[in-house]
Amino acid sequence: MPINPYIANDQRYDNMMYNRTGKSGLKLPAISLGLWHNFGGVDSYENGRAMLRKAFDLGITHFDLANNYGPPPGSSEEMFGRILQTDFKPYRDEMIISSKAGYKMWDGPYGEWGSKKNLTASLDQSLKRMNLDYVDIFYSHRFDPDTPLEETMGALDQMVKQGKALYVGVSSYDAEQTKRAVEILHDLGTPMLIHQPNYSMFNRWIENGLQDVLEDKGVGSIAFCPLAQGLLTNKYLNGIPKDSRVSTSGVFLKEDNITDEVVEKIQLLHKIAEKREQTLAQMSLAWVLRDNKVTSALIGASRVSQIEENVKALNNLTFTGDEIAAIEDILKDQ
C-alpha cells in the first residue's frame, strides 16, 4: 500500500536542539540519522521511507550516508535519492546531507582509500545516485597510510572549490592525523568542519587526545555507534536474545564481545537510567552529548519507534556529579 504524499510536520523545529559545529556557522541537530544499515536495496523501501519521514518530522535535518552503504554498496544513496525526489524535494535547503568515500566500493586499485582519483570519482557517483548538485558535507572515510595526506586533503579542498561539497571532514582519523589534516586544509583555504569518530560509553578512545585537538582547532564532531551497535540498549540486559544481530549473522556484534562482565555493566547502567526516567539508550545518547564536546550523536534505526525513543534523550541531557561518578565507576576498566 503506498504511503500518502508527504507534508512535513510544521512543528518539527520546536523540540530539536541544534548545536554549532566547531567554529563554523553550521548548526547540526543533536541527533542525526545514519543510513549505514536498513536503508539498502535488500531492505524494505517503505520502512526506510517511513523512518526518514519521521526523522525529519522530529527535527532531524542531518542525514549521513557513504558511497558504500547498503547492501549492496550504493543502494542507500539510491534509496535516499529516490525519497528526496518523491518526498523531500521541497525541503532540500532545510537538510544537511553528507557522504563519504574511502572503504572499498569497486574493484581495482582506485576503488578505495584516499587517493584523489578515488575520492573524486566516488563523490561524482554519489551525486548521481542521489540526483544532487552538491552534498553539504563530504568525508574522507578513513585515513590512508599509503597516500600523502596532502593529496587526500587537496582532493577535499578541490571538491569545495568546485561546488560539489559545502564542507569537508574526516572519519576515524587519530589525533595526530587529524591535526595534520586540519593544518593542511587551513593552508589551502578550506577549513575542516567536522570529525566523525566511533564514540560511546564502551568506546572512549577519542578522549585520549582527539577531543583536545578538535577543541583547539575549532572542529566539530559527530559520534557514530553511540549505542555501541545496540549493546547500550535494553536488548542485551539478559544476555544475547535469539533474534539478535549476534545470533543471526555475527556481522555487527561478535558473541565474544558480550561477556558476563559486559552484561553486568549494561544492567548497572540500566539502573542509573531508570532513576533518570530514561531508557538505557536515551541515557547513553545523553552521555555522549554531555559537556557540549560532541556536536551530534549519529543514530541508526530499523523502525520508526527507535527514532522516536532516541530523540526523547534530549528531554534530559543533564547529569549530576553523583551520576557521572557512578557511571565512571562502572566503566573504569573500559
**Residues 88-140 pLDDT 10s:** 999 999 999 999 999 999 999 999 999 999 999 999 999 999 999 999 999 99
- Cβ-contact 67, 74 below 8 angstroms: yes
Closest CA to 194 of 282, 122, 312, 96: 96
Helices (H), 220-259: 245-248
In this predicted structure, what is the pLDDT of residue 248?
Answer: 47
User: Is the per-residue pLDDT at 9 higher than 70?
Assistant: yes
Whole-number percent of the chain with pLDDT over 90: 90
Q: How many residues does the chain have?
A: 334
Domains of the chain from N-terminus onward? 22-228+288-314 (3.20.20.100)
User: Is the per-residue pLDDT at 266 higher than 50?
Assistant: yes
Q: What angle do CA 80, 86, 87 make, to 5 degrees?
A: 80
Strand partners, 222: 296
With cell 520546536, the residue in question is 14
In this predicted structure, what is the pLDDT of residue 4?
Answer: 74
Mean pLDDT across the chain, nearest whole number? 95
CA 46 to chain centre: 22
56-89 pLDDT per residue, tens: 999 999 999 999 999 999 999 999 999 999 999 9
154-206 pLDDT per residue, tens: 999 999 999 999 999 999 999 999 999 999 999 999 999 999 999 999 999 99
Model confidence at 257, pLDDT cuts 50, 70, 90, reads: confident
CA 252 to chain centre: 16
- Rounded CA gap, 228 and 246, in Å? 13
With cell 597510510, the residue in question is 145
- Rounded CA gap, 83 and 50, in Å? 10
| Cβ neighbours of residue 259 closer than 8 Å, sequence gap 6 or more | none
- Cβ-contact 136, 98 below 8 angstroms: yes
Strand partners, 34: 64
Q: Based on the number of CB atoms within 10 Å of its own CB, is 329 exposed (0-12), middle (13-18) or buried (19 or more)?
A: exposed
CA 210 to chain centre: 17
Average pLDDT over residues 300-318: 97
**Would residue 108 be called left, alpha or beta, if left means φ above 0 and alpha means ψ between -120 and 50 degrees?**
left
- Rounded CA gap, 211 and 230, in Å? 24
With cell 575520492, the residue in question is 119
User: Is the per-residue pLDDT at 290 higher than 70?
Assistant: yes
- C-alpha distances out from residue 98 to 56, 85, 139, 169, 309, Å: 15, 17, 8, 10, 24
User: How much is the pTM?
Assistant: 0.94
Model confidence at 253, pLDDT cuts 50, 70, 90, reads: low
- Cβ-contact 269, 201 below 8 angstroms: yes
- Rounded CA gap, 203 and 157, in Å? 31
Closest CA to 43 of 82, 79, 74: 79
Q: Based on the number of CB atoms within 10 Å of its own CB, is 268 exposed (0-12), middle (13-18) or buried (19 or more)?
A: middle
